[in-house]
Amino acid sequence: MIGVDGCQGEVMIAKIVDNHVKIGLSPDLECLKDEMGLILMDIPLGCPSSSNDLRPEPQLRQLMKGKASSVFNVPALQTWEAHSYDEANQMHRTIMNKGLSRQSYHLLPLIKLANTFILNYPNLNVHESFPELVFQRLNQHPLNSSKHTIEGRKERYDLLLHHAPSLESGLVTAQKRFPIKYHSDILDACALAYGAYLIHQRGGENVPRHPMKNSQGIEMKVMIFKE
């Protein structure tokens, strides 16, 4: 079971094997091309090409009680060809009838990387997920602090270990190995890997329940374990 989180232009990858987690940083996703298990990514999969393409964000915001602002809009597929933020913003506004945030624009290289990867390896079991929804379901209500604070990282660390104490060694090793700026990404990748494990144990569900496919044939959804 594998979790992938975008991280400083690279990807943080957590893999659970025999109830223990191994965590590392990779410049791309090619190291996953032969994986047989479930892979959850906190990277948008399936960019819309028109305002009629329904992504999961509206429903995801409803699920994220009190933390709807953590869910951002996904760039239109056509913005992949943009050469600047202003160009991408104008393209997105024309296509989707709304502007594009700079945060979303700066994720375009990672979005292109992940979507190209799953198109190149269509037999892999890869799905988009959302770490904050994993944490919220583990906690049974929204978390109190932002993951970008010391308190928020501790809250998520403690929550993971409460449910999966066998992950502690791998988490501690990764936090010692990487600077603190990577620690929220380590926790997110680990949460996704554990979320994949719970899908295997309990079953999963899609948000929305009946997802659309984009023009590339990618389902636009978030997968999460059942409560």
Bridging pattern class, strands 126-128 and 10-17: unpaired
pLDDT of residue 67: 74
Domain boundaries along the sequence of the chain = 2-71+106-225
pLDDT of residue 227: 85
Helix residue ranges, H only, the chain: 57-63, 85-96, 102-106, 108-120, 131-139, 150-163, 168-177, 183-202
pLDDT of residue 145: 86
Strand partners, 128: 41
Alpha carbons 173 and 47: distance in angstroms, whole number: 35
pLDDT in tens for each of the 227 residues of the chain?
A: 999 999 888 999 999 999 899 999 999 999 999 999 999 999 999 999 999 999 999 999 988 877 777 788 899 999 999 999 999 999 999 999 999 999 999 999 999 999 999 999 999 999 999 999 999 999 998 888 888 899 999 999 999 999 999 999 999 999 999 999 999 999 999 999 999 999 999 999 999 999 999 999 999 999 999 98
Angle, alpha carbons 199-104-67 (nearest 5°):
55
